[in-house]
Amino acid sequence: MTLASLRKKLLPDGPALDIHVHPLNCFGSYRVSSPGTDAERLVATARRSGVTRMCVFSLYETTPYEPTAEQCRLANDYVLRMRDAEPEAILPFCYVTPAFPDEAVAEIERCVGGQAMAGVKLWVARRATDPGLDPIMEAAVAKDVPVLQHAWLKTTGNLPGESTPFDVADLARRHPKARIIMAHLNGVGYRGIEAVVDVPNVVVDTSGGDPESGLVEAAVRRLGPHRVVYGSDAPIRHFGVTMNKVLGAGIPDAAKRAILWENALRILKLDRREER
Amino acid sequence: MIIDVNAWTGPLPALVNVPYDAASVRASLREYGVERIFMAPLAAAWSANPHLCNANVYESADEFDDISPVPVIDPTLPTWPEELEKAAGHRAVRMIKLLPGYGGYELAVADDLLAEADQAGLVVMVQIRIDDPRRHHPLAMVPDVPAGDVVEAAMRHPNLKLVIGGASATALRDFAAQVRDLPGLYADTSQVDGVDSVKMLVNAGIGGKVLFGSHAPVFMPAASMARALIDLHDDTAVGIMEDNASGLLSV
């Protein structure tokens, strides 16, 4: 096998949409001088691994676990400027905190309603069982966008506001009309898959943790290929490593295509959004 | 020829429905062009006597010419000198492996073993981690071995060839100067992650000391290949995937 043929084998044979990406100014070792530079460098890096489009959300440059509403607003302004630099590649998500539900709803109106952001991001300020999420979920449903909820199941202990997959299942049952992307397949693991098996409005992204053998196959087997979606968590993780969790999995090619592209289009309602 | 310096065979409790016999691991790596596999026994991690698990990799080497056994040796067992002698006398052994985290010992305890390995001309890999502690079973948690402990061992044994196995990108960036400056110290790519992470190690001046490791079957071969190949030009990639290991391990 030549290096050229090996390189080809590590790339998808069609477009790929990464549903879980952060700016370089939040994580990783690169220092960037502006949102435009951030976007250009991130997109160039992603393209080497075959990623053609990506959902990007900032957690503010200092990534505080308890962000203020103002920090969320600045984070969202940053990714809007990234989209200005790379409009074909970047689909920005709106970062909000359930600690300030009223401000969060207003921010969703500003960013999704006013700026056509593609989704809402929730991180670790409050667990998904917290009632502060409810108005956010209602706003997302009203705007017809998905919510990407961070989740992990850490033996070493979750953060106080960090959701488990069981919390995400609770959220999905409270809001059955919401489209929820549970982050970090490799963070929630086999127990996390089971937590959402019977909650059809939850899909899981393939990000989080290491490229453990067998986990993507397990998710496809238990949830079906239509409920698994490619996410890298770049720049914390490598676009190509995470891409090859899917490409290297023992699942049918049609399932790989669904995970890398088609499911994201459906969840984001991208075809319809781009006709507007 | 792609050389994998960090593959395994055998069971690990966290591995679910993943074939781990040597033939399956070998096939999974050959699918991505790996032609020489340095293979250690995974069961050694949880065995009270890791030496008993080495038979598995010796037998695998008898069956497949492209597998080099990497026996695990535990310096807290009184039989380590015999196990080391057996390794040194085997036609295909170039490297042994230490699992201080799972063996529950400090690396400093292994100084006599490291000195003997050096005398025998064996390379030693110290495995920093097997899997993410955040994902361990709650009754089976094993902290990472500090990469600095391996660096200190390399300073105490300047002639020994020592490989940091399974270190993170952050750890290797933190110790890049030592990896660059200590002639016998190397590291593998098996748990280096993050955007451009291997490229950054190259940019930090240690491209000549970095070796391709897959961590199969625990990790997916395709993913391990991507981290080592995608961001690098061919000549740099060949260095990491073949030349560095070829020189170190006399392949």
Q: What is the pLDDT of residues B98-138, one digit of tens each?
A: 999 999 999 999 999 999 999 999 999 999 999 999 999 99
Flag whether residue B18 sits within 8 Å of chain A, measured between CB atoms. Answer: yes
Q: Is the pLDDT of residue A274 over 80?
A: no
Q: Is the pLDDT of residue A30 over 90?
A: no
Q: In what order do the strands lie in the sheet with A228-229?
A: A17-21, A53-56, A90-95, A119-122, A147-149, A180-182, A202-205, A228-229
Lookup result for tokens 């891409």 = A243
Residue B145 φ/ψ region, left for φ over 0, alpha for ψ in the -120 to 50 degree band, beta for the rest = beta
Flag whether residue A33 sits within 8 Å of chain B, measured between CB atoms. Answer: no
CB contact under 8 A, B131 and A48: no
Q: What is the pLDDT of residues A187-204, one digit of tens each?
A: 999 999 999 999 999 999
Question: Could you tell me which chain B residue has the CA closest to the CA of A190?
Answer: B16
Q: Write down the pLDDT at residue A275.
A: 52
Distance from the B225 Cα atom to the nearest Cα atom in chain A, whole angstroms: 8
Q: Write down the pLDDT at residue A271.
A: 75
Q: Which residues on A lie below 8 Å from B222 (Cβ)?
A: 9-10, 244-245, 247-248
Flag whether residue B197 sits within 8 Å of chain A, measured between CB atoms. Answer: yes
Which is nearest to A226 in space by CA: A255, A201, A251?
Answer: A255
Distance from the B153 Cα atom to the nearest Cα atom in chain A, whole angstroms: 28
* Mean pLDDT over each residue of chain B, to the nearest integer: 97
Provide mean pLDDT across the span B7-34: 96
**Nearest residue, CB atoms, A212 vs list B200, B219, B221:** B219
CB contact under 8 A, B220 and A245: yes
Please, which pLDDT band fits residue A127 given cuts at 50, 70 and 90? very high
Q: What is the pLDDT of residues A43-90, one digit of tens each?
A: 999 999 999 999 999 999 999 999 999 999 999 999 999 999 999 999
Q: Is the pLDDT of residue A255 over 70?
A: yes
What CATH code is carried by the domain that includes residue B125? Answer: 3.20.20.140
CB contact under 8 A, A28 and B224: no
C-alpha–C-alpha distance, residues B221 and B94, integer Å: 22
Q: What is the pLDDT of residues B158-175, one digit of tens each?
A: 999 999 999 999 999 999
Backbone φ, ψ for residue B126 (5° rounding): -105, 120
Alpha carbon A15 to chain centroid, angstroms? 17
Q: Is the pLDDT of residue A237 over 60?
A: yes
Please, which pLDDT band fits residue B179 given cuts at 50, 70 and 90? very high
Could you report the predicted ipTM of this complex, rounded to two decimals? 0.95
CB contact under 8 A, A247 and B197: no
Report the 10 Å Cβ neighbour count for A114.
9
Flag whether residue B134 sits within 8 Å of chain A, measured between CB atoms. Answer: yes
Q: Counting Cβ atoms within 10 Å, is residue B120 exposed (0-12), middle (13-18) or buried (19+)?
A: middle
Q: What is the pLDDT of residues B30-51, one digit of tens each?
A: 999 999 999 999 999 999 999 9
Flag whether residue A47 sits within 8 Å of chain B, measured between CB atoms. Answer: no
Please, which pLDDT band fits residue B199 given cuts at 50, 70 and 90? very high
Flag whether residue B200 sits within 8 Å of chain A, measured between CB atoms. Answer: yes
Q: Write down the pLDDT at residue A29.
A: 80
Name the amino acid, one letter, at B209: K
Q: Counting Cβ atoms within 10 Å, is residue A275 exposed (0-12), middle (13-18) or buried (19+)?
A: exposed
Q: Write down the pLDDT at residue B195.
A: 94
Q: Is the pLDDT of residue A276 over 70?
A: no
Q: What is the pLDDT of residues B140-151, one digit of tens each?
A: 999 999 999 999
Q: Write down the pLDDT at residue A17.
A: 98
Q: Which residues on B lie below 8 Å from A239 (Cβ)?
A: 195, 230
Please, are residues A130 and A104 in contact by the beta-carbon 8 Å criterion? no
Please, are residues A150 and A162 in contact by the beta-carbon 8 Å criterion? yes
The b-or-e profile of B182-205 (16+ CB within 10 A means b, else e) is bebbbbbbbbbbbbbbbbbbbebe
SS3 state of residue B220: coil
Distance from the B174 Cα atom to the nearest Cα atom in chain A, whole angstroms: 12
Provide mean pLDDT across the span A147-152: 98
Flag whether residue A194 sits within 8 Å of chain B, measured between CB atoms. Answer: no
Q: How many domains does chain B have?
A: 1
Count interface pairs A-B at CB distance under 8 A.
131
DSSP class of residue B199 equals: H
Q: Is the pLDDT of residue A12 over 60?
A: yes
SS3 state of residue A111: helix
Quote the domain boundaries for residue B116: 2-249
A212: β partners? B219
Q: Which residues on A lie below 8 Å from B15 (Cβ)?
A: 213-214
C-alpha–C-alpha distance, residues B115 and B84, integer Å: 11
Q: Write down the pLDDT at residue B243.
A: 98
Q: Write down the pLDDT at residue A273.
A: 65
A90: β partners? A54
How open is the CA angle B180-B182-B186, to the nearest 5 degrees?
65
